[in-house]
Amino acid sequence: MKRLALAAAAFLLHTAVLAQATPVGLWKTIDDETKQEKSLVRISDSAGVLTGRIEKLLDPTAKPGDVCDKCTDDRKGKPILGLTIIRNAKPDEIDKSLWTGGDITDPNNGKTYRLRLKPTDGGKLLEVRGYVGPFYRNQTWIRVE
């Protein structure tokens, strides 16, 4: 009986650790250049496809009515607060610790980059890489919930 209880506890702990090793959740974004807090982004999963939306602006210079005037797609002119910046990320077929195949948009410059997401530190941090060809930018986001 003790072995069964121990096995069940180990399984539940393993499941909880894996649940946190996913990008799904609320993240505090940190600017890769200034190292300042920028926003809170909620990443959600719909049928295995991740999207991320700006839920709150933390940058004191940001105004609530700011729009993505430099975006060149359907997000042009849309409010930055509530803007979907991550689209179509899926678990990587080869490396199951990564989410790839989607894109991320920087609302400050309107540029869209291919995307790689990698939870680290047991899911407490999220390595976010946006890249075009061999050129990339990395940010480390901090899990809020």
pLDDT in tens, 95-136: 999 999 999 999 989 999 999 999 999 999 999 999 999 999
Q: Is the dihedral of CA 7, 9, 10, 14 positive or negative?
A: positive
pLDDT in tens, 22-79: 999 999 999 888 889 999 999 999 999 999 999 999 998 888 799 999 999 999 999 9
Q: Which neighbouring-strand residues pair with 131?
A: 114, 136
Q: How far is CA 66 from CA 9, 86, 117, 129, 136, in A?
A: 48, 19, 27, 25, 26
**Angstrom distance (rounded) from CA 80 to CA 55:** 9
Number of H helices, E strands in the chain: 1, 8
What domains sit in the chain, N to C, each tagged with a CATH number? Answer: 2-143 (2.40.128.520)
